[in-house]
């Protein structure tokens, strides 16, 4: 949100994670709508950018559910290289053995 993206919607299946998100958003004066949901259970809300901190395997399952041009994934080890169907890899950042990737929708 502080980079100009809004609205920001946070989804998680863990109520504790959502509570941590609410506290973090409040501490940073960020307006974030938090929803208890399983992101892998069905289509996701339309977004310019979807950000997911999930396993590399879940990244592959997430791709067909995303309605966004850009997807940023993280939460997996450097040696994991998810390739979500329908997206092309654009950038990778690695720190401390963990990786984050940026993908753009193909076509």
SS (H, E, C) 39-74: CCCCCCCCCCEEEEECCHHHHHHHHHHCCCCEEEEE
- Which domain, by its residues, includes 65? 42-107
- The domain that holds 46 is classified in CATH as 3.40.50.150
Number of domains in the chain: 2
Whole-model pTM? 0.87
Averaged over successive runs of 10 residues, the pLDDT of the chain (107 residues) comes to 86 95 95 93 90 92 93 96 93 97 93
Please indicate, yes or no, whether residues 26 and 66 belong to a single structural domain of this protein. no
Q: What is the DSSP letter of 69?
A: S
Please indicate, yes or no, whether residues 46 and 1 belong to a single structural domain of this protein. no
Residue-level pLDDT at 65: 93
Please indicate, yes or no, whether residues 54 and 33 belong to a single structural domain of this protein. no
Please indicate, yes or no, whether residues 47 and 93 belong to a single structural domain of this protein. yes
Please indicate, yes or no, whether residues 68 and 29 belong to a single structural domain of this protein. no
Backbone angles phi, psi at 11, to 5 degrees: -115, 140
Please indicate, yes or no, whether residues 32 and 74 belong to a single structural domain of this protein. no
Please indicate, yes or no, whether residues 24 and 47 belong to a single structural domain of this protein. no
- Token pair recorded at residue 56: 């590399």
């Amino acid at each position: 949100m502080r980079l100009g993206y809004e609205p920001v919607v946070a989804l998680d299946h863990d109520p504790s994670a959502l509570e941590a998100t609410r506290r973090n958003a409040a501490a940073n004066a960020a307006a974030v709508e938090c929803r208890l949901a399983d992101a892998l259970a069905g289509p996701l809300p339309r977004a310019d950018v979807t950000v997911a901190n999930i396993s590399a395997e879940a990244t592959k399952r997430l791709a067909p559910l995303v309605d966004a041009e850009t997807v940023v994934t993280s939460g997996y080890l450097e040696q994991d290289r998810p390739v979500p169907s329908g997206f092309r890899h654009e950038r990778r950042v690695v720190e401390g053995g963990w990786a984050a990737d940026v993908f753009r929708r193909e076509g």
